[in-house]
Structure 1
């Protein structure tokens, strides 16, 4: 949620499923949490299936067993966006699916990407409320690891947030809905609220993950709001331009926090 004093709640930002799975899978492979904890934290009360390239399906628990020998350093989250494919391997089915979903998990020589949300137009009785992960092989060349430290990611996020708040003040009429502007400004001095990270993550990684996740949620909410926002196409474009660097910095900070070295 937003810091105290704001009056709107922040939705789960894109990429939360992959970030959670990557974090807990890394801790599991480092021997810091149990296999059951990975499943509990990743799935909650949902059913999670994995669909393989040949069309067969099995449970997430069964699929994860195949990664029992993968090093924790070979497990990481990717949070790409159009025009920003950092962290993805070369062209292939995993890269295509991760770009479409805006998220994915690299596990050694394979990858998992959550499918899009269920069709909202279907009758509730016909919808499956769980998550289906698409399993895809990775290209032979190792997936590149983005050399971004926690300190660099934290600095970049702080600068992007300061610049975005200043730009919104200058735009005036292209403002955020009531409460969100205040909440975004307050985040400059707040840790935010993100997903629970498992044992092994440093205090700095936890703070950065929480702050970046909250900012991403604020931006996701702002992008769907129409009340009290920009009054014409030019102002809407200007507001989007103010948000774009912040969205990039938040994505990179979240990935840097989840993929940071574990303390054992």
Structure 2
């Protein structure tokens, strides 16, 4: 069971945790017993439609499905409307991934996290995460050929960040989302909560730390302001300022999480 909804959260994307920890496990760099807990991060995670199962199962019971894959067969995709890079061609998985904005490609399977909100008998609202598994077509194209490497993604992110930070400051986003103040400051000093598991080189770690914090800032900045503190014109300015940085941030996360692993 996760924390009650309605609280401001700056948790990294669930798909990035899934990809990095499963890849490290398949590379023999972390023990299997640690993977499910690291992915869940204190939440309750279930898996639906995993091969060989007839009902939803706990994450740790579904992970053996991926035990024959190499790390390079497991990758993060963060598609967006107009930018489906990383998706293995059209189909049910691609459509669901575009709606979710994040997904995992693992060999012949695709996995997408779905957050479900529940209310207990005492009125407490909480969330669980359901990973839905999709079979991928055997003739799917190699979408990794169109994705940038870590060096290219790092340069693109640095340029976009410099340009957008000034715009966000002018728009004074922290005034209408006070919780952004600390998150914006964290861009220059990422904390250990965004760290990667063993196997990633310093460039990938640096890129992920910056992009993961920024991704959480962008998620908050893109939300409607509480109490209608932003009018329509201001919202358009905000969206225009955030668009190139959002693209660069997605590509940076993908490049960092899918980077080659080292013993």
Using the size of structure 1 for normalisation, the TM-score is 0.83
With over 3 angstroms needed to count, the CA separation of the structure-2 counterparts of 1:63 and 1:228, relative to structure 1, is closer
Q: Secondary structure at the match of 2:132?
A: strand
Counterpart for residue 4 of structure 2: none
- CA distance in 2 between partners of 1:124 and 1:18 (Å): 31
- CA distance in 1 between partners of 2:105 and 2:30 (Å): 19
Query: Alpha-carbon deviation of 1:181?
Result: 6.8
Query: Alpha-carbon deviation of 1:84?
Result: 1.7
Matches within 5 A, 1:47-196: 47-52=44-49, 56-118=55-117, 129-140=127-138, 141-145=140-144, 146-168=146-168, 172=170, 174-178=171-175, 180=180, 184=184, 187=187, 189-191=188-190, 194-196=193-195
Q: Secondary structure at the match of 1:129?
A: strand
Query: Alpha-carbon deviation of 1:243?
Result: 0.5
Q: Secondary structure at the match of 1:49?
A: strand
Q: Secondary structure at the match of 2:67?
A: coil
- CA distance in 2 between partners of 1:212 and 1:89 (Å): 24
Q: Secondary structure at the match of 1:56?
A: coil
Counterpart for residue 38 of structure 1: 35
- CA distance in 2 between partners of 1:98 and 1:81 (Å): 9
Question: Quick check: 1:193–1:211 contact (8 Å CA) kept in 2?
Answer: no
- CA distance in 1 between partners of 2:41 and 2:130 (Å): 14
- CA distance in 2 between partners of 1:105 and 1:34 (Å): 20
- CA distance in 1 between partners of 2:190 and 2:154 (Å): 11
Q: Secondary structure at the match of 2:117?
A: coil
Query: Alpha-carbon deviation of 1:59?
Result: 2.4
With over 3 angstroms needed to count, the CA separation of the structure-2 counterparts of 1:182 and 1:41, relative to structure 1, is closer
With over 3 angstroms needed to count, the CA separation of the structure-2 counterparts of 1:83 and 1:124, relative to structure 1, is farther
Question: Quick check: 1:177–1:228 contact (8 Å CA) kept in 2?
Answer: no
Query: Alpha-carbon deviation of 1:223?
Result: 2.1
Using the size of structure 2 for normalisation, the TM-score is 0.83
- Give unmatched runs, 5+ long, in structure 1: 1-8
Q: RMSD of aligned C-alpha atoms?
A: 2.9
Query: Alpha-carbon deviation of 1:56?
Result: 2.9
Q: Secondary structure at the match of 1:134?
A: strand
Question: Quick check: 2:183–2:213 contact (8 Å CA) kept in 1?
Answer: no
Deviation sequence 1:178-216 (CA, Å, 0-9, x none): 4647964773x5446653311101111111111111111
- CA distance in 2 between partners of 1:229 and 1:210 (Å): 32
Question: Quick check: 1:176–1:229 contact (8 Å CA) kept in 2?
Answer: no
Range that drifts further, 201-210 or 127-136:
127-136
Query: Alpha-carbon deviation of 1:50?
Result: 1.1
Query: Alpha-carbon deviation of 1:166?
Result: 3.1
Deviation sequence 1:58-117 (CA, Å, 0-9, x none): 222222112111111000111112222111111112111111111111110101111134
- CA distance in 1 between partners of 2:227 and 2:56 (Å): 46
Deviation sequence 1:133-190 (CA, Å, 0-9, x none): 1000112224411431111111101100111123345xx4x33124647964773x54
With over 3 angstroms needed to count, the CA separation of the structure-2 counterparts of 1:191 and 1:48, relative to structure 1, is closer
Query: Alpha-carbon deviation of 1:22?
Result: 0.5
Q: Secondary structure at the match of 2:222?
A: helix
Deviation sequence 1:18-56 (CA, Å, 0-9, x none): 100100100111111111111121124433211118963
